[in-house]
Amino acid sequence: MANDYYATLGVRRDAGADEIKKAYRRLARELHPDVNPDPDTQDRFKEITQAYEVLSDPKKREMYDMGADPFAPGGGAAGGGFGAGFPFSDIMDAFFGTQAQRGPRSRARRGRNGTIRVELDLSETAFGTTRELTVDTAIVCTNCTGAGTAPGTQPESCDMCHGRGEVQQVTRSFLGQVMTSRACPQCGGYGSVIRTPCPECSGDGRVRTRRTIKVRIPAGVENGTHIQLAGEGEVGPGGGPAGDLFLEIVERPHAIYERQGDDLHCTVQVPMTAAALGTSLTVETLDGPEEIDIRPGTQSGQQIPMYGRGVKHLNENGRGDLMIHVNIETPTKLDEEQEELLRRLAVLRGEERPPGKFSPGQQGFFSRLRDAFNGR
């Protein structure tokens, strides 16, 4: 035999089909003219391609093992020698590692996902709620049950690709004759055509409709949370599986509370006299009204915690806290009697001319960091 195809690919004579294919792919990556522009590689590339065409075809390999070279003059190579009916998909496989799927593709495809914005009050996000949502979506056509054909009819085999879903074209290149495949332009790759489409869905297999679904919003969601409802999106073309529906939570601002994570914060204004003498206030929490004590001598800026009165933790037990920030109100308008009483109090406390207590202004970042490490 003039050519040793096994030596050309660097494989043993008993090598299996997978081993031969891997060897060819490895060499093709190195020797393809687009990768290696050296003119000498073109002849070498043709040699490995010819060797692969023989050894990858069981009939040609058997003929070669019996001593006949299919590419030798009169050797019986179908199509007249190198390149006839060349398996172009194997070259593509050598460079991209995959081979295009053969055969017609299904008309049924997965439907698109959808997103709905759901506005909730703070109490609904804190404790969860149930909502009924109206969704404009696509469902399976009941007239054709997703087939897309009129009742009593069926899709017909495409007369251009004969049901294969693809057509082949032979072109000439430096490799010889190269056969390529592409989706059939007549049937779009489906292998069949719908001559009589369903009058309800016009052959799409689905129709638009409006439906209502009941969804459970879990406790602890917050502004921007996304909830996935699997299979509640649009049905796909051809009656394909439905996509998913996502709920985007939008939390409305609360009149009193500001939410920070699962904690709630609010500010209460307390008169100077009440802060000095102490008092009690009624706070409208998410659980209802509750009493809190303002201890005598409470200062402006102090926080009064109400543990476990915040938002429920999402997918966990327990709740955040409610932090009440106290702001002391200093009177700005006094009548004569009130002013006289305050002056007498100032005299009793020796505060007619208070010396005042000064401290540094706004701390910088590193000062605050230092104090945090020092436990201040």
CA separation for the pair 116, 225 (Å, rounded) = 12
Cβ–Cβ under 8 Å, residues 209 and 138? yes
C-alpha span between 313 and 307 (Å, rounded)? 13
Residue 300: closest CA among 328, 280, 271: 328
Rounded Cα distance, 365 and 219, in Å: 36
d(CA 134, CA 115): 12
2 φ/ψ sector (left φ>0, alpha ψ -120 to 50, else beta) = alpha
The answer to whether 266 is annotated as binding is no
Q: What's the alpha-carbon Rg for the chain, to the nearest Å?
A: 40
Annotated binding site: 141, 144, 158, 161, 184, 187, 198, 201
Binding residues for Zn(2+): 141, 144, 158, 161, 184, 187, 198, 201
